[in-house]
Amino acid sequence: MTTRELKEKYLKFFEEKRHKIISGSSLIPENDPTALFISAGMHPLVPYLLGQKHPSGDKLVNVQKCIRTTDIEKVGNDTHLTFFEMLGNWGLGSYWKKEAIEMSWEFLIDKKWLGLDKDKISVSCFEGDDEVPKDVKSAKIWQSVGIPKEKIVFLSKDDNFWGPAGKTGPCGPCTEMFYDGVEIWNDVFMEYNKTGEGKYEPLKQKNVDTGMGVERTVAVLNGKKSVFDVEPLKSIVALIKRMATDYDERSARIIADHLRAATFILGDEKGIAPSNLERGYVVRKLIRRAIEFGREIGISKDYAFTIIIAERVIDLMKDDYPELLKNKDFILEQLTQEEEKFNKIDAEAEKIFDDYMKKNGITPMRVVDPRKETYIANPLITKDIATALFKLHSSRGLSMSTIRRLAREKSFVLDEAELEEELEECFKEHVSRSAISAGKFKSGLADNSEQVTKLHTATHLLLAALRKVLGDHVYQKGSNITAERLRLDFSHSEKMTQEQIKKVEDAVNEIITRDLPVNCYEVSLKKAKEIGAMGVFESKYGDKVKVYSIGMSDCPFSCEICAGPHIKKTGELGRFRILKEEASSAGVRRIKAVLE
């Protein structure tokens, strides 16, 4: 069965069950500042899950293109993808567990539809916890349709609870279906709304949200182990194989996945260009990561291979996604530019190694197979090199994997720990020495006078105060600091009232008066997420990020991923005053403020 056939069957089945086929949405969420991309079919339907009437009715079905970057490190295995298509049917307060499970079962086993072997199907249900009870009902329904008790497992919230798609919104326990041990379908019973405070409130209506990953299911239906063994990914991997001189399956899969995802993001109805921020950053990272893996497996620089792959993706998927064809020029143009940029940075980094070798009279040694790490003793990465590399790394995004590859190619003995340490040193010096470059990392600082540093700390306090007064939908959209004032753009759609402005000022000034220490520590990206640090979740190198927090350690007033610099104690700030609050762009407000 092809992906096309599966999609057609699914839509037809649910149409027969009186569902209306609706079209999929753009990959870019509408009105959801908490998420960069649509990550599930239910995501664009959130307003309707919350109770708004959908124009097509209360039973819907569709195919939705999705991007999930949370599992990017797993891509390359048999099941994970950054871009995928998802089938889904929804009952918006119109049917519940019994109907949903019975329809799923019929679609899976009936000969007219998928005709799967009953004996190979198993399911999981939610085991319950303090907040949400055990889903005994679903398990009973599964038994009634014919799943034996021993093939029903109960799992925790990590596995059997879905949502919300952003930080808040509809969610609920789910029941998952496995074929031959592979998860293929998920029926979510959305009866809760998760609030900004982390509470689960009952929703106005009980919704069914199901999701079936197209690629995964087609693989299983065809008896294939991997999503890369079915079309369209199979042809893309084969094409990569033909271009590589030192082929490696995992790398080829990563390239196929990343460039397909990049093609879809660039070619989306709301096309996103590569940049250093948010969505643009994600697409840039996908492209650069793909190119780096391409170099690893010996794809020549002369190929401009990203556009060859993108053209193939467009060709294979344009019938279902005409926007790809429409935006083809933009996709190819952006990829060409990114690949050129990559090559330029790569050449500069290579020159750093070469110059160093020349200067120190080191002749390049022949390395039989650098990938097998059979090095002939050669120089260690020294501080000189680290400093130069770091510059490229911080200003132009030279990646650690490129550094590793070049070091291998030049037969440098790469002591990872030592290199990280050297880079770390550079990082520290760099951050305190020059706030100008620090601005390039994140926050738009204009010079490093003491006043700028103070205003930078004040910006953190302002953002935290805005979130406290206006709500958790407030995120930083931009920041620019001069020696005179700070300017913060943030997500919020209405004009602030005088009272809100006053409350925000008071909250900031209270923290200043309390003279709290500004704590800085370095943690893994994962840890930073866990403790709820705000900021762009990109690591500067390795996996470590700097987190600045102000206030109690277990429940800080402000906690942000940031390159710094900051002042030591809030008492140094003086008095904070908001000069102006105005619209910046749609859904974004701008505040200018000073320290007096």
Q: Residues in the site for ligand SER, rule: CB under 6 A?
A: 40-42, 88, 162, 186, 188, 209-211
Residue nearest to ligand SER (CB): 211
Q: Is 348 exposed, middle or buried (0-12, 13-18, 19+ CB in 10 A)?
A: middle
Nearest distance from C-beta of residue 210 to ligand SER, angstroms: 5
> Tell me, what DSSP letter sits at residue 238?
H
Minimum CB–partner distance for residue 184 and ligand SER (Å):
11
Closer by beta carbon to ligand SER, 40 or else 511: 40
Residue closer to ligand SER by CB (options 211, 274) is 211
Q: Which is nearer to ligand SER, 13 or 162 (CB)?
A: 162
Backbone φ and ψ for 517, nearest 5 degrees, come out as -70, 145
Residue (176 or 346) nearer to ligand SER, CB: 176
User: Of 42 and 141, which has the nearer Cβ to ligand SER?
Assistant: 42
Closer of 84 and 353 to ligand SER (Cβ): 84
Residue 162 Cβ vs ligand SER, minimum distance, rounded to whole Å: 5
With respect to ligand SER, which residue has the nearer C-beta, 182 or 367? 182
| Nearer CB in complex with ligand SER: 219/463 | 219
Residue type, 140: K
How far is residue 522's CA from residue 423's CA, in Å, rounded to a whole number? 14
Sheet with strand 544-550: strands edge to edge: 518-524, 544-550, 558-561
Tell me the C-alpha distance between 98 and 143, whole Å: 11
> Least distance from C-beta 39 to ligand SER, angstroms?
7
CB 171 → ligand SER: shortest distance, Å?
9
Minimum gap (Å) between residue 64 Cβ and ligand SER: 9
Please state the separation of Cα 3 from the chain's center in Å.
25
Task: Characterise 43 by phi-psi region: left (phi > 0), alpha (psi -120 to 50), beta (else).
Answer: alpha
DSSP state at residue 31: S
**Nearest alpha-carbon partner for 232 in 81, 346, 343, 120:** 81
Quote the least distance from Cβ 88 to ligand SER, whole Å: 5
In the complex, least distance from residue 100 CB atom to ligand SER, rounded to whole angstroms:
11
CB of 174 to ligand SER, least distance (A): 7
Rounded-to-integer distance, Cα 253 and Cα 2, Å: 19
* Shortest separation between residue 244's beta carbon and ligand SER, angstroms: 33
Nearer to ligand SER, 88 or 271 (CB): 88
Three-state secondary structure string covering 292-328: HHHHHCCCCHHHCHHHHHHHHHHHHHCCCCHHHHHCH
3-state secondary structure of 290: helix
The closest of 579, 567, 572, 575 to 595, measured between CA atoms, is 575
Which CB sits closer to ligand SER, 174 or 352?
A: 174
Minimum distance from residue 245 beta carbon to ligand SER (Å): 39
Q: How many CB atoms lie within 10 A of CB 97?
A: 20
CB 137 within 8 A of CB 96: no
DSSP codes of every residue in 39-73: -STTGGGHHHHTTPPPTT-SEEEEEEEEE--TTGG
Distance, first Cα to last Cα, the chain: 69
Element (H, E) at 523: strand 518-524
Other C-beta atoms lying within 10 Å of the C-beta of residue 251: 22
Residue for token digits 């290579």?
350
Pick from 530, 528, 573, 572: nearest CA to 548: 528
Q: What angle do CA 322, 325, 326 make, to 5 degrees?
A: 85
Cα-trace Rg, the chain: 26
Residue 387 DSSP code: H
> What value, to the nearest 5°, has the Cα angle with vertex 448 and ends 446 and 454?
95
Question: In the complex, what is the shortest distance from the CB of residue 45 to ligand SER, in angstroms, rounded to a whole number?
Answer: 10
Q: Which is nearer to ligand SER, 72 or 518 (CB)?
A: 72
Indicate the residue among 9 and 318 with the shorter CB distance to ligand SER.
9
